[in-house]
Amino acid sequence: MINKVLIANRGEIAVRIIRACREMGIETVAVYSEADRDALHTQLADEAICIGPAESTQSYLNMERIISATIISGADAVHPGFGFLSENAQFVRLCEKCNITFIGPTAEVMEKLGNKSVARNTMVEAGVPVIPGSAESIYDVETGAPIADQIGYPVIIKAALGGGGKGMRVAETPEEFASAFQMAQKETQMAFGDNTMYIEHFVQHPRHIEFQILADEHGHVIHLGERDCSIQRNHQKMVEESPSMALSDALRKSMGEAAVKAAKAANYTNAGTIEFLLEKNNNYYFMEMNTRIQVEHPVTEWVTGIDLIKEQIRIADGQELRHTQEEVQITGHAIECRINAENPAKNFRPSPGTITELYMPGGKGVRIDSAIYSGYTVPPYYDSMLAKIIVYARTRSEAIKKMRSVLGEVIIGGIDTNIDYQYEIMNHPDYISGNIDIEFIEKMQG
């Protein structure tokens, strides 16, 4: 039985988890860096423990300190949120050794899915469609080039461990391969301290479609439909929605079943996301599985009525899923816009600083997940997301109108934000008509 949860994260997701725990009668422990002394999550939790200086390596990424804080506070479980240690198998293993319940999958499963080559092989064996790509880890250009030829250009070179767009490069032709590989590998080494690379066929103009999965420890796996996350800049998602206009009921069924198959093949437990690339001809390929809660989880919550954070905690507590696949109904349409402290006119340069004025609108079908308040200082050390605005309506077009209305009302003074940029997206004819793919932002910027 989980009585007390330590939230190993900060920002809106920490707040989101604290609220869910509170509704479940579970005590909460926040951890914070010296830069987050006055952060909302620090103040909101029942207890808060300072775990070190501002730099995340010294605080939110410091496993030893987070474990110590968990033991000292008497928490019996850790929720990792997203980012930071959420997909660090070593951290999960540490929790397991210390008898701390990690709210997420096991270390073993995380390790398997965190390595793209291993994950891919698992999917191939399970019969889930994958993009043609290298079967083994690649460490140099000489080995990579003939494999790229075999796969067929264009190819994309990726970090075997990793995500978030770091360590990725596309080579359109064999001539570009060597330099693309070297650059990707250099980035990979810097970002992940590893130089293992992976090459695959580069699918052109696809949509990013991901399926939300819930799996309990009793062998039940269901999916909660898809999210269309095609609106991305540099592989960072900006707008997400559910359901996707691109999926017919039949395609949704087929992809959903593939997602469930994928989760089962990996022996997955807890909430997870299967990412697919969907081509215009409705071919879809497994991309990767995210072994954590996602930023964009609220859109799924709204169209299914299921609270994903609470489900995560229930599953970690050993309980069975409360819904069967048949009971999951997708109704209406939800859209999420990520509001970041950044300046789109200056190449999206981060804009930390103090928020001098703040007005957040409300109303029917409006949800704002955020950790900012008037007078809050956005620290420069962490990612720049300030808030997620989620709207819900019967139809997509109604939801777009609602989002425009909300974006038009928001006031955040003192720092630069991307609100106007999001407003432009909501007014873009291609977005409105649903004619989108992962190159939307690139095209919009010309």
Partner 1 sequence: MELRNRFKKVVNRSKTETVNTEVPTGLLRKCNKCKAAILTEEVKANYYTCPKCGGYFRMHAYRRIEMITEHGSFHCWDMGLTTHNPLEYKGYEEKVKMLQEKTGLDEAVITGSALIGEQKVALAVMDGRFMMASMGEVVGEKITRAIERATTEKLPLIIFCCSGGARMQEGIVSLMQMAKTSAALKRHSDAGQLYISVLTEPTTGGVTASFGMLGDIILAEPKALIGFAGPRVIEQTIGQKLPKGFQRAEYLLEHGFVDAIVERKDMKATLAHILQLHVKQAEENAQNKNVMSETENSDTDSETGDMDTSINSDLTAWERVEKSRRNDRPVAEDYIEAMFPDFMEFHGDRYAKDDTAIIGGVATFHGMPVTVIAQAKGRNTKENIAHNFAMPSPDGYRKALRLMKQAEKFDRPVLCFVDTPGAFCGLEAEERGQGEAIARNIYEMSGLRVPVLSIFIGEGGSGGALAMATADEVWMLENSIYSILSPEGYATILWKDSKRAKEAAKVMKLTAKDLKEAGVVEEIIPEPATYIKETLQEVTDCLDTKITAYLERYANMNKEELVEKRYSRFRGVGKW
Helix (H) or strand (E) run with residue 189 in it: helix 174-192
With contacts defined by CB under 8 A, how many residues of the chain interact with partner 1? Answer: 33
Please say which residue, 19 or 264, places its beta carbon nearer to partner 1: 19
The closest of 5, 18, 23, 4 to 371, measured between CA atoms, is 18
3 near partner 1, judged by CB under 8 A:
yes
CB of 60 to partner 1, least distance (A): 15
* Among the residue ranges 58-66, 189-197, 261-269, 281-289, the one whose residues contact partner 1 (CB under 8 A): 58-66
Render 104-167 in DSSP notation, one character per residue. SS-HHHHHHHHBHHHHHHHHHHHT--B-SB-SS-B-SHHHHHHHHHHH-SSEEEEESB--TTTT
Q: Which of 19, 34, 46, 434 binds partner 1 (CB under 8 A)?
A: 46
Q: Which of 20, 35, 100, 368 binds partner 1 (CB under 8 A)?
A: 100
* Among the residue ranges 97-105, 183-191, 257-265, 418-426, the one whose residues contact partner 1 (CB under 8 A): 97-105
Q: Which of 35, 40, 255, 334 binds partner 1 (CB under 8 A)?
A: 40
Residue 271 DSSP code: E
Residue 346 DSSP code: G
Residue 345 DSSP code: G
Residue window 180-199: x/- pattern of binding to partner 1, with contact defined by CB under 8 A: --------------------
Q: Which of 19, 34, 44, 118 binds partner 1 (CB under 8 A)?
A: 44
Task: Please classify residue 281 by burial: count the beta carbons closer than 10 Å to its beta carbon, then call 0-12 exposed, 13-18 middle and 19+ buried.
Answer: exposed
CB of 90 to partner 1, least distance (A): 8
CB of 159 to partner 1, least distance (A): 21
* Among the residue ranges 90-98, 160-168, 233-241, 383-391, the one whose residues contact partner 1 (CB under 8 A): 90-98
CA-to-CA separations, 219 to 7, 214, 254, 319, in angstroms, rounded: 27, 11, 20, 11
Residue 331: CB atoms within 10 Å: 12
Amino acid at residue number 313: I
Take residue 431 and report the two structure tokens written for it. 């977005």
Q: Which of 11, 13, 27, 86 binds partner 1 (CB under 8 A)?
A: 27
Partners of 334 in beta bridges:
242, 392
* Among the residue ranges 42-50, 146-154, 160-168, 182-190, the one whose residues contact partner 1 (CB under 8 A): 42-50
CB of 267 to partner 1, least distance (A): 24
For residue 314, indicate whether it is catalytic.
no
374 near partner 1, judged by CB under 8 A:
yes
Amino acid at residue number 443: K
Render 425-439 in DSSP notation, one character per residue. HHH-HHHHHT---TT
CB 222 within 8 A of CB 328: yes
94 near partner 1, judged by CB under 8 A:
yes
Cα dihedral across residues 399, 401, 406, 412: positive or negative = positive
Q: How far apart are CA 172 and CA 170, in angstroms?
A: 6
CB of 77 to partner 1, least distance (A): 9
CB of 54 to partner 1, least distance (A): 16
375 near partner 1, judged by CB under 8 A:
yes
1 near partner 1, judged by CB under 8 A:
yes
Amino acid at residue number 391: V
Please say which residue, 110 or 222, places its beta carbon nearer to partner 1: 110
Residue window 68-87: x/- pattern of binding to partner 1, with contact defined by CB under 8 A: x-xx--xxx-----------
Please say which residue, 92 or 145, places its beta carbon nearer to partner 1: 92
19 near partner 1, judged by CB under 8 A:
no
CB of 103 to partner 1, least distance (A): 14
The closest of 7, 27, 29 to 17, measured between CA atoms, is 7
Residue window 334-373: x/- pattern of binding to partner 1, with contact defined by CB under 8 A: ---------------------------------------x
Q: How far apart are CA 333 and CA 331, in angstroms?
A: 7
The closest of 51, 47, 39 to 15, measured between CA atoms, is 39
Please say which residue, 102 or 392, places its beta carbon nearer to partner 1: 102
The residue from 227, 292, 314, 338 that is catalytic is 292
36 near partner 1, judged by CB under 8 A:
no
* Among the residue ranges 95-103, 260-268, 303-311, 418-426, the one whose residues contact partner 1 (CB under 8 A): 95-103
Task: Strands of 348-430 (E only): list them.
Answer: 349-350, 353-354, 357-359, 366-370, 377-378, 385-393, 411-413
Q: Which residues bind partner 1 (CB under 8 A)?
A: 1, 3-4, 22, 25-28, 38, 40, 43-44, 46, 63-65, 67-68, 70-71, 74-76, 90, 94, 97-100, 373-376
Active site residue ranges = 292
